Amino acid sequence: MDLFSSAGELTPIPVEDGELAFMPQLPLALPTAEVLQRLLDETAWREEMITVWGKQHLQPRLSAWYGEASYTYSGKTFAPLPFTALQLQIKEAAERATGHRFNSVLLNCYRNERDSMGFHSDDEPELGPEPAIASVTFGEARTFILKHKRLPRTVKLDLTDGSLLLMAGALQANWRHGINKETKPRGLRVNLTFRHIYSAPISK
Ligand SMILES: O=C(O)CCC(=O)C(=O)O
Ligand SMILES: [Mn+2]
């Protein structure tokens, strides 16, 4: 990371076969602790079931889907709830910071070090061929790991309180990402991934 980059600046992270950029502090009118508390209180959190090898499990985190378009994820279709005023504030800040427009957000709550997200690409057809996804974090930092699909490349990023990570270009086509479980105690973390959903799937 460039030593001279300031907290509110979006700095490219050079990676092969995709675009990544990081901003340590997304400019917002509210302190991050207040945003975190309101996201915890105002979100209709759900503990979703997933099927792995034909067996039903609870997902190791809480999640919720808001915005203007329904979304299919891990074989399930989520009907959205309308954006809240706070989500709109964060969305507009993310749009100003990245120059991209978003119409949906997936929220994930990692309650402690045992919550996680398996390795995946956000490459559903309704996201379009080169999706721009803005990932905004509040609360405890967790390590976001990216693994190239064909090359022996791994990138690890500490997604800290109030930060924004932009994934764009061919990143989803060439990389998977996830959040591992940890052994060291970890506090609550809420992550929002703002996306643009096209109502009719775009053919690749
Ligand atoms: O919590 C994170 O940082 C990752 C979230 C993510 O990959 C997703 O919502 O698709
Ligand atoms: Mn993802």
Which domain CATH number covers 129?
2.60.120.590
Position 6 scores a pLDDT of: 75
Asked if residue 193 lies in contact with residue 120, where contact means CB atoms within 8 angstroms, the answer is no
Q: What is the mean pLDDT of each run of 10 residues along the chain (204 residues)?
A: 68 98 98 98 94 91 93 74 98 98 97 97 94 98 98 98 98 98 98 91 50
- The C-alpha atoms of residue 42 and residue 158 are separated, in whole angstroms, by 26
**E strand or H helix at 129:** none
Evaluate whether residue 19 is within a structural domain.
yes
Q: What total number of domains does the chain contain? A: 1
pTM of full prediction above 0.95:
no
110 in any annotated domain: yes
Instruction: Enter the DSSP assignment of 127.
Output: G
Pairwise CA distance, residues 146 & 104, whole Å: 23
Give the tokens for residue 83: 């954006």
Task: Give Cα separations from 140 to 20, 35, 37, 149, 195 (angstroms).
Answer: 21, 13, 12, 28, 23
Q: Is 6 within the bounds of a domain? A: no
Q: How far is the CA of 144 from the centre of ligand 2 (A)?
A: 10
Q: Ligand 1: which residue has its CA nearest to atom 7?
A: 178
The answer to whether position 39 is within a domain reads yes
Residues with CB under 6 A from ligand 1: 106, 108, 117, 122, 135, 144, 159, 177, 179, 191, 193
Would 68 be classed as within a structural domain? Answer: yes
Question: What's the pLDDT at 114?
Answer: 98
Residue 119 structural domain = 13-195
Determine contact, residues 88/160, Cβ cutoff 8 Å.
no
Distance CA 114, CA 128 (A): 32
